Amino acid sequence: MSDKKHWGLLAQYENPATVTHAAARVRAAGYEKWDVCTPFPVHGLDKVMGVPDSKLPWAVLVMGITGSTFMLFFQAWAMGWAYPMIVGGKPLFSIPAFVPVWYEVTVLSSCVTAFLANWIMNGLPQPYHPAFASKAFERVTDDKFFIMIEAEDPRFDGEKTKALLQESGATLVEELEA
Amino acid sequence: MGTPTATMTLPDDPNLRGDVVLPEVIEGREPLVRGDHDFHAITEMVCKVNEAPILQTPNGLKFGIALAAAGAAMFGGYVGYLFWEGPGIWGNNTPVAWAWDIVNFVFWVGIGHAGTLISAVLYLFRQKWRTSINRFAEAMTIFAVACAGSCVALHTGRIWMDYYLFPIPNQMGLWPNFRSPLEWDVWAVNTYALVSILFWYTGLVPDFATLRDRTTIKWRRFFYGFLSLGWRGSMRHWVTYEKAYQILAAFSAPLVLSVHTIVSFDFAVSQLPGWHTTIFPPYFVAGAIFSGFAMVLTLAIPARQWLGLKDVITIRHIENMNKIILLTGSLVGYAYGMEFFMAAYSGNQYEGFTFLNRMGGPYWWAYWIMMSCNVITPQLYWFKKIRTNVKITFVLSIFVNIGMWFERFVITVTSLHRDALPSSWDYFVPVTEVLFLLGTFGLFFFLFLLFVRFFPVIAMSEVKGVMAQANPHWEGYGHAAGHAHEAAHHHTEAPAIGGAIPSTAVAGTGGHS
């Protein structure tokens, strides 16, 4: 299996139950470069696969605090220092009047970060993926469930890996080219 | 496969099925998806609307789009006329300086709130029934906020000066006044618009991928391929995706409350009798949700009929929405009563006059339209017969829409037309404002119908996720899956699997076991 164009194997499963069982077997066999693709998040499957928790909330926390702090100081600076203006006899640093915008910008910076970090952390947009060449894979966004194992995985062995996928209940096993 | 009891009592005709009220048999709840659907059937049901060739668009939809496009075009012409002539084309004058422009703004932004409530608040409360209607409702939010934004951007008069609202460094060293509720409003509405779009788009990506994978037509493949960002349903992606979705929901929930609170500050922070009350923020938020749910029903009831989505948007969804209308409608009714009580109890003669003038003054008709539509209408929903009747619900939802528009008219115009000095009393007479309101409706429906035509109107991946079959431990798989893979359990690390699946799977099943 030293063919350079060979990317890995793609196996199709019919329902969430079989794919979950198969994923448990693939993980137990020690594979590392593999993935499960499903039409909707199958709950519990990430734990079976051993996918670690997402780091995304940390990015949101950091950027949320940054945006929030910036906006508080920006308002204080603009109203109290850059162009000091007394409105309604209130002090220049009238924090309560700054709360609404401060709050909105906290939400804004957190949400924009969550949105961008979601795509960045997932490596999207990615217009091409070897699996897109497969006709069967077109149903991954419909009703079929897939496991793919990359040939680069140290434990990958063409015949043995194929056998594992077939035994685990795959209804179809295909080879993918890079 | 649904639950046996459910399929037994359902008529075969899918056009009737969604309207039949099931006796409460299935563990106290109706299924979220009616009938004998598997995952593929959901995909087919939702995608067939988007996949029809352009020229074979159903005639009703074609006619609707054409009519709405005419309205939107009229709105464009109207805006040009407004640019040319200035706001003198309106009937606003001192003391009624705010009229239909602001009434329309508050009306539209309020409608948007139900969408966010459905997508965010119900998501956080794990209300799984939201999955059938959230896409609709979010789209409604975005288009309603677009209309609200155009009203508020146009009401400034000199529209080309609107950039003053934003903190853009300029040659005069001026900054916007961050202590003004009107400036708070700029931030609230813009944040709300942007966050709603991000949330909506995030939810749409997996469904765009479905349309991309199904199509054989080149432009569609490019269009949906571009929008779906190469989504391939990887479980490693879903983990981060769901986290991002959760966070967007968690921030949207307080955002929706803050936006209408800040809109109410536009009124409440000023010192005008009729506006200057602390009850405004909760009262406005309740009213916004009330009107928004009514608009969701106004849109969803014809849509489920025409697009054949009755098995996904069932009578249970309609009943649940009616219950929320009943709750928020009662809150609004309570707020009306409390405003009157405070006006009397405060002993302030100006406050007292304003409220008596609302009831019996020159705008008594607006007040009584508001009262009958907003206070009486929702109370009918105490009766299950009415709550579960689709036709009556549709009619009542329109009454609520009318009532809530008049509420904003009553608050804005009647509080202004009688100043403290009788010599400056005046009436507000709409001149070209009717076109303004019709134009925003044209814009709203134009955008909404294009959305219905080209975007998946039901969040397919989410609906599939709440179906009984989505649970790997669903009884339908129990025998086959368990038997064939008994060996797998023995060979593999049992604790990791056995420990992880049941706990998370139970959380994901909702009403089904």
> What number is the ipTM of this complex?
0.91
pLDDT classification of B7: cutoffs 50, 70, 90: very low
d(CA B273, CA B348): 9
Interface-testing mutation among B44, B235, B464, with chain A (most A C-beta atoms within 10 A): B235
What is the SS3 assignment for B307-356? CCCCCCCCHHHHHHHHHHHHHHHHHHHHHHHHHHHHHHHHCCHHHHHHHH
Give the model's confidence band at B504: pLDDT under 50 very low, under 70 low, under 90 confident, else very high. very low
In Å, how far from its chain's centre is CA B191?
Answer: 16
Instruction: Give the pLDDT of residue B68.
Output: 93
Chain A interface disruption, residue of B197, B243, B260, most A CBs within 10 A: B243
Q: Is B240 in contact with A21 (Cβ distance < 8 A)? A: no
Q: B94-114: per-residue pLDDT in tens?
A: 888 888 889 999 999 999 888
Could you tell me if residue B369 is inside a domain? Answer: yes
Domain that holds residue A30: 6-53+125-177
Domain count, chain B: 1
Strand order in the sheet with A34-37: A34-37, A145-150, A6-13, A172-177
Q: Do A65 and A33 fall into the same domain?
A: no
In a domain, A1, yes or no: no
Residues B472, A44: Cα–Cα separation, whole Å: 8
Name the pTM for this structure: 0.85
Co-location of A15 and A71 in the same domain:
no
Q: Which amino acid is at B442?
A: G
Most distant CA atoms of chain A, gap in Å: 82
Q: Is B393 inside a domain boundary?
A: yes
**Domain-ending residue, one of A121, A143, A167:** A121
The answer to whether residue B10 sits within a structural domain is no
Does position B503 have pLDDT exceeding 50, yes or no? no
Specify if A166 maps to a domain.
Answer: yes
Q: What is the CATH number of the domain that holds B200?
A: 1.20.1630.10
Instruction: Give tens-digit pLDDT for B231-263.
Output: 988 888 999 999 999 899 889 888 988 999 999
**Shortest CB distance from B191 goes to which of A21, A107, A125?**
A107
Interface probe, candidates B46, B174, B178, chain A, greatest A C-beta count within 10 A: B178
The answer to whether the CB atoms of A43 and B508 lie below 8 A apart is yes
Q: Which residue of B has its CA nearest to A130?
A: B232
Residue B3: pLDDT above 50? no
Tens digits of residue pLDDT in B174-232: 889 888 899 999 999 999 999 999 999 999 999 999 988 888 888 888 899 899 998 98
Q: What is the torsion angle, in degrees rounded to the nearest 10, for the CA atoms of residue B58, residue B64, residue B70 and residue B75?
A: -140
Nearest CA in chain A to B239: A54
A166 touches chain B (CB under 8 A): no
Give contacts of B235 with chain A, Cβ < 8 Å.
35-38, 41-42, 45-46, 49, 51
Neighbours of B232 (CB within 10 A): 24
Counting the structural domains of chain A, the total is: 2
Residue B457 has pLDDT above 50, yes or no: yes
- Which of A94, A107, A168 faces B195 most closely, judged by CB atoms? A107
Report whether B113 contacts B259 (CB < 8 A): yes
> What is the residue-wise DSSP string for B241-306?
HHHHHHHHHHHHHHHHHHHHHHHHHHHHTS--TTT--TTHHHHHHHHHHHHHHHHHHHHHHHHHHH
Of B184, B242, B503, nearest to A41 by CB-CB distance is: B242
Q: What is the mean pLDDT of chain B?
A: 82
Identity of the residue in A98, A110, A128 whose CB atom sits nearest the CB atom of B251 = A110
Query: Is the residue at B70 inside a domain?
Result: yes
Instruction: Residue B371: give the domain boundaries.
Output: 15-85+99-169+176-512
Whether A16 and A97 share a structural domain: no
* Mean pLDDT confidence for B282-309: 88
Candidates A41, A75, A124; nearest CB to B230: A124
What crossing angle do the helices spanning B100-116 and B134-154 adopt, rounded to 10°?
A: 160
Question: B234, A35: Cβ pair inside 8 Å?
Answer: yes
Residues B379-385: contacts with CB under 8 Å, at least 24 apart: B379/B326, B379/B329, B379/B330, B379/B333, B381/B322, B381/B323, B381/B325, B381/B326, B381/B329, B382/B326, B384/B319
**Domain contains B444:** yes
Which of the listed residues A73, A106, A121 is the one where a domain comes to its end?
Answer: A121
The verdict on residue B353 lying in a domain is yes
pLDDT at residue B486 tops 50? no
Do A115 and B202 make contact, defined as CB atoms within 8 angstroms? Answer: yes
Per the structure block, which two tokens stand in for A1?
């299996």
Q: Which of B176, B232, B247 sits opposite A37 (nearest CB)?
A: B232
Q: What is the pLDDT of residue B376?
A: 92
Q: Which residue of A has its CA nearest to B489?
A: A21
Nearest to B27 by CA among B509, B372, B402: B509
Q: What is the pLDDT of residue B478?
A: 62
Percent of chain B with pLDDT over 70: 86
- Render pLDDT for A90-126 as a digit per residue (tens, 0 to 9): 888 888 889 999 999 999 999 999 999 999 999 888 8
Cross-chain residue pair A140–B179, CB shorter than 8 Å: no
Question: For chain A, which residues score pLDDT lower than 50?
Answer: 1
Separation in Å, CA A163 to CA A11, A155, B206:
11, 13, 31
pLDDT value of residue A112:
95
Flag whether B439 is in a domain: yes
Instruction: Give the pLDDT score at B186.
Output: 92
Give yes or no: residues A67 and A113 share one domain: yes
- Asked, for residue B210, whether it belongs to a domain, the answer is yes
DSSP state of B432: S
With a pLDDT cut of 90, the percent of chain B lying above it is 34
Residue A113 sits in the same domain as residue A138: no
C-alpha B218: how far from chain center: 33
Q: Domain check: are A77 and A101 in the same one?
A: yes
User: How far, in Å, CA of B327 to CA of B333, rounded?
Assistant: 10
**Residues A117 and A168 grouped into a single domain:** no
Q: Does A14 touch chain B (CB under 8 A)?
A: no
